[in-house]
Structure 1
Amino acid sequence: MKDTTQFLGKKVLILGLAKSGFAAAKLLSSLGAVVTVNDSSPDEGSKEIAELRSEGIHVICGGHPDGLLDEGFELVVKNPGIPYTNTVIKEAIRKEIPVWTEVEIASRISEAPIIGITGSNGKTTTTTLLYHMLNVAKKKPLIAGNIGTVSCAVAETATKENIIVLEASSFQLLGTDSFRPKIAIWTNVYDSHLDYHGSSAEYVKAKAHLLKNQTSEDYFIYNADQEVLREVALTSNAIQIPFTLKGKQQKGISADESMIYWNGEPYVSRSIIKLPGEHNLENILSATAAAILSGCDKEPIESVLSSFTGVKHRMQFVKELKGRKFYNDSKATNTLATKSALAAFQTPTVLLAGGLDRGHSFEELRPFMGNVKAVIALGETKKRFAEFAASCEVEQIILAENMVDAVRQADLVSVEGDTVLLSPCCASWDEYASFEVRGNEFIEAVMSL
């Protein structure tokens, strides 16, 4: 951690506890800030709150008191999920008090260079791939952000010998000011979180904080197959590294059906890649480019590409049983993710889908249902998904009682050569606390066959 006095004596309000608020409060207090934490949830014997109070940090629970910002706060650090329509945030902006997320603090104290990764899809896979490449190459990477430990806690212990690989959401990036990653990766952009950002333009603007402070000494790796990101790249001051799936290109990293190219030269054969799906090739290209720019030799990169089979709950290979392959894609909570999953397989597919009913249409999946031989529908949307599957002329449609029943039914209707794919196309909150819990139940059910 850098030796810094920038927070010494500064009055800071942490809005929202959770993991990020807890880590930011402890760090800022250790750096000499006068910290107050405010969380809307009541204090119900929280160990974290007790620990903060034992260290002299003021904690206010159960709501936002009137006049909270009248105490002379010079900085607000908010939980990324708290919207800017929150009354305290609106008042802070009116009073011209800076509003950050803890990612900004991490960037200010980190001795290690940061590789920042964002995108509507593929962030976690790209982050994990790159981490493994750097790790095999003995570059001492540390993983942070959405996928790992809170970034300011990672930055607190990082040294110049490390590289921080940071997965950053639009929520986190919007609350940054001077954040400047040495390498920025933007995997793709699709409409997402519009209830938070208000419009597609504001969503893109929030993610563009990733590169706004980069200079000609930094790198920006971006998806050149998307017009919106080509336009974003025009605003970048960094060295631009485009990636594309549209055949060999002379600049950046590219791929055709058989080969990955680096600046137009053959780099590695696609035949060694274990991770399935064209959408994952985007993640592979961006991670590989960042690994090369970080000084990795080809051998560690090839080693990871020939062994990495996926992130847990994202196109995760679970097991092969009697010639059928089972995949856990529980993290697919929308049509875009399930569409990508279906496109990854050319084999007859038994699809397990359904979950929380938000009323969204499944129509975008229609062009990708050709290889689906059976649908096992579950959750709140099971009847709607079954009706959609019937309109796609899927041969077999089964309404399952629960995940164990769904896996049992998939076992019965599948044969050798089939793919059994859990890709729900819906959030998990109708029956599960998270998509992780849902995915773990699928894995357990498959393992018990």
Structure 2
Amino acid sequence: MKIAIVGFDREGRASYDYFSARGHSIAVFDQNPNVVLPKDVSGVLGDSYLQTVKNYDLVVRTPSLHPSQLLAAHVQNDKIWSGTNEFLKVCPTKNIIGVTGTKGKGTTSSLITKMLEKAGKTVWLGGNIGIPALDMLKNDIKPDDWVVLELSNFQLIDLQSSPHIAVCLMVVPEHLDWHKDFIEYTDAKRNLFAHQDNKDIAIYFAENETSKAIASAGDGKKISYYSDVGAYIKDNAVVINGHRICTVDEIALLGKHNWQNVCAAVTAVWQVTQDVSAIAKAIKEFTGLQHRIEYVGEKNGIKFYNDSFATGLHATKAALSAIEGPKIAIIGGYDRMLDIDEFGVFLRDEAKDIKQILLIGDSQNRVATMLSGAGLHNYTQSDANNMKQIVAEAVKLADAGDAIVLSPGFASFGLFSNFEERGTLFKKEVAKL
């Protein structure tokens, strides 16, 4: 079969490895003219890279490429495929848990994995968390193993099958620079549930109507979390079906917003095992992922937190609520022009312990206008163009006993290539202080 791999990033390379190992004729297509292709592999690079892709039997897109771009290049819809679709088709086990939502996917997926491992299961974690699904097939996955997939809207938009257990966390507007509207964004997530039958399980967040609507897309058994149907908080403890798992004080993850993620994970794992001890142990030990309210350290009496993963202000709100004491917040980045007024109300009415806000990136003028409109003037606009300058300016605004929190609330593009680079550079500059 003649197969086109479109987009040669991490996912594209995983697709190349998988399909080439099975004897297919492969060509690589990428808009980046500087992509280095594997030896003896033909490819088309540069702005006109999609012109001939229609001539292939199968077109495997990388998640960041919207399917509409392939349709515009006259690729037949039934030829468009993805690594996630292929993985779900051929995976040796059908014990698959898929997790989506706007934020919390990686944390919840990782926590589910830890819980299942504590319960003695063999578990493979991958997907949007940084391990392409097809790369997971390089392992010896057995029929009795469990697979946990973190799945983004980019991976779900053309998904053609659903996992046995699907979990939808809170969903709010995001990635509207990629999707034509919020409806397309939520429709992508509905695909996680749309192909389920009545033997499957659909888990959703009881306090988010969008999550509930997404989970209703298929025939899976509906179970809500943060309600007494699934796991929820009662008397300062995580409880499910009358079983007390642990107290909220024993949750290692910072922030009340993570109580939701814990309850989602408990609800999912409860469908597999009711091992209360194993579930509780994972909750008490799992402190979180990099770039998610990550404690970096203390310098000269100032604590530093890296929350670079916060690319939306709803995530920034959660981080600023989770970290106690006086704070300097570093906010801003690439502006996707989402509504930001609600964040101003939060800062004015609830976030009394924020001493100063350091505004960075091309979003800062709009954020400054919003803050002024909310009656807030404790902000400084920065013309810093690198992390060294940003950290130095933040330190000047802080005193001993304060916390400096990098929780941008906007995408990294412009100043940094991605949230990982932004967070890593922040940690490096803090280490130099």
Please give the range of the TM-score, normalised by the shorter of the 2 chains: 0.7 to 0.9
Distance in 1 (alpha carbons) for counterparts of 2:423 and 2:20:
38
State the partner residue of 1:336.
314
Q: Does residue 128 in structure 1 map to residue 99 in structure 2?
A: no
Q: Does the C-alpha gap of structure 1 residues 292 and 417 become closer, same or farther in structure 2, counting only changes over 3 Å?
A: farther
Among residues 282, 289, 293, which one is paired with 1:315 in the alignment?
Answer: 293
When structure 1 is superposed on structure 2, of 275-284 and 353-362 the one drifting more is: 353-362
State the partner residue of 1:69.
54
State the partner residue of 2:87.
106
Distance in 2 (alpha carbons) for counterparts of 1:380 and 1:196:
19
State the partner residue of 2:38.
50
SS in 2 for 1:115: strand
Offset of residue 422 of structure 1: 1.0
Give the conservation status (yes or no) of the 8 Å contact 2:245–2:280.
no
Among residues 408, 421, 427, which one is paired with 2:405 in the alignment?
Answer: 421
Offset of residue 361 of structure 1: 5.5
Among residues 327, 334, 339, which one is paired with 1:356 in the alignment?
Answer: 334
Among residues 193, 206, 209, which one is paired with 1:211 in the alignment?
Answer: 193
Instruction: Count the aligned residue pairs.
Output: 424
Percentage identity across paired residues of the two chains: 30
Distance in 1 (alpha carbons) for counterparts of 2:251 and 2:232:
15
Among residues 83, 104, 120, which one is paired with 2:66 in the alignment?
Answer: 83
State the partner residue of 2:3.
12
Distance in 1 (alpha carbons) for counterparts of 2:322 and 2:90:
41
Alignment of 1:287-306 (within 5 A): 287-295=265-273, 297-306=275-284
SS in 2 for 1:91: coil
Return the letter of the residue paired with 1:350: I
Distance in 1 (alpha carbons) for counterparts of 2:304 and 2:258:
18
SS in 2 for 1:193: coil
Give the conservation status (yes or no) of the 8 Å contact 2:329–2:404.
yes
Tell me the alpha carbon deviations over residues 362-414 of structure 1, each in whole angstroms, 9 at most, x when there is no partner.
Answer: 42211222321112233344455455545555575444545334434544544
Distance in 2 (alpha carbons) for counterparts of 1:376 and 1:65:
42
Distance in 2 (alpha carbons) for counterparts of 1:234 and 1:385:
36
State the partner residue of 2:168.
186
In structure 2, stretches of 5+ residues that fail to align are none
Alignment of 1:2-41 (within 5 A): 10-41=1-32
Offset of residue 117 of structure 1: 1.0
State the partner residue of 1:5.
none
TM value normalised by structure 2:
0.88
When structure 1 is superposed on structure 2, of 204-213 and 345-354 the one drifting more is: 345-354
Distance in 1 (alpha carbons) for counterparts of 2:406 and 2:124:
31
TM value normalised by structure 1:
0.85
Q: Does the C-alpha gap of structure 1 residues 155 and 254 become closer, same or farther in structure 2, counting only changes over 3 Å?
A: same
Offset of residue 258 of structure 1: 0.3
Tell me the alpha carbon deviations over residues 298-346 of structure 1, each in whole angstroms, 9 at most, x when there is no partner.
Answer: 2332223223332211111222456653211112122222122223245
Give the conservation status (yes or no) of the 8 Å contact 2:193–2:214.
no
Distance in 1 (alpha carbons) for counterparts of 2:166 and 2:221:
10
Alignment of 1:136-147 (within 5 A): 136-147=118-129
State the partner residue of 1:6.
none
Give the conservation status (yes or no) of the 8 Å contact 1:110–1:159.
no
Return the letter of the residue paired with 2:221: I
Distance in 1 (alpha carbons) for counterparts of 2:307 and 2:248:
23
Distance in 2 (alpha carbons) for counterparts of 1:232 and 1:180:
13
Q: Does the C-alpha gap of structure 1 residues 236 and 267 become closer, same or farther in structure 2, counting only changes over 3 Å?
A: farther
Return the letter of the residue paired with 2:315: A
State the partner residue of 1:3.
none
Distance in 1 (alpha carbons) for counterparts of 2:50 and 2:337:
36
SS in 1 for 2:27: strand
Give the conservation status (yes or no) of the 8 Å contact 1:352–1:422.
yes
Q: Does residue 442 in structure 1 map to residue 426 in structure 2?
A: yes
Distance in 2 (alpha carbons) for counterparts of 1:226 and 1:378:
31
SS in 2 for 1:50: coil
Q: Does the C-alpha gap of structure 1 residues 43 and 417 become closer, same or farther in structure 2, counting only changes over 3 Å?
A: closer
Give the conservation status (yes or no) of the 8 Å contact 1:376–1:410.
yes
Return the letter of the residue paired with 1:221: I
Give the conservation status (yes or no) of the 8 Å contact 2:327–2:403.
yes
Distance in 1 (alpha carbons) for counterparts of 2:184 and 2:369:
35
State the partner residue of 1:270.
248
Give the conservation status (yes or no) of the 8 Å contact 1:377–1:398.
yes
Offset of residue 65 of structure 1: 6.3
Tell me the alpha carbon deviations over residues 230-271 of structure 1, each in whole angstroms, 9 at most, x when there is no partner.
Answer: 233344322222111xxx61x211114601111244332111
Give the conservation status (yes or no) of the 8 Å contact 1:134–1:296.
no
CA RMSD of aligned residues (A): 2.7
Q: Does the C-alpha gap of structure 1 residues 140 and 265 become closer, same or farther in structure 2, counting only changes over 3 Å?
A: closer
Return the letter of the residue paired with 1:101: S
SS in 2 for 1:14: strand
Return the letter of the residue paired with 1:132: K
Q: Does residue 170 in structure 1 map to residue 158 in structure 2?
A: no
Distance in 2 (alpha carbons) for counterparts of 1:14 and 1:294:
36
Q: Does the C-alpha gap of structure 1 residues 74 and 346 become closer, same or farther in structure 2, counting only changes over 3 Å?
A: same
Q: Does the C-alpha gap of structure 1 residues 89 and 11 become closer, same or farther in structure 2, counting only changes over 3 Å?
A: farther
Offset of residue 212 of structure 1: 1.7
Distance in 2 (alpha carbons) for counterparts of 1:434 and 1:126:
21
Distance in 2 (alpha carbons) for counterparts of 1:258 and 1:342:
21
Among residues 387, 390, 393, which one is paired with 1:403 in the alignment?
Answer: 387
Distance in 1 (alpha carbons) for counterparts of 2:321 and 2:120:
35
Distance in 2 (alpha carbons) for counterparts of 1:142 and 1:207:
22
Give the conservation status (yes or no) of the 8 Å contact 1:176–1:209.
yes
Offset of residue 221 of structure 1: 1.6
Return the letter of the residue paired with 2:8: L
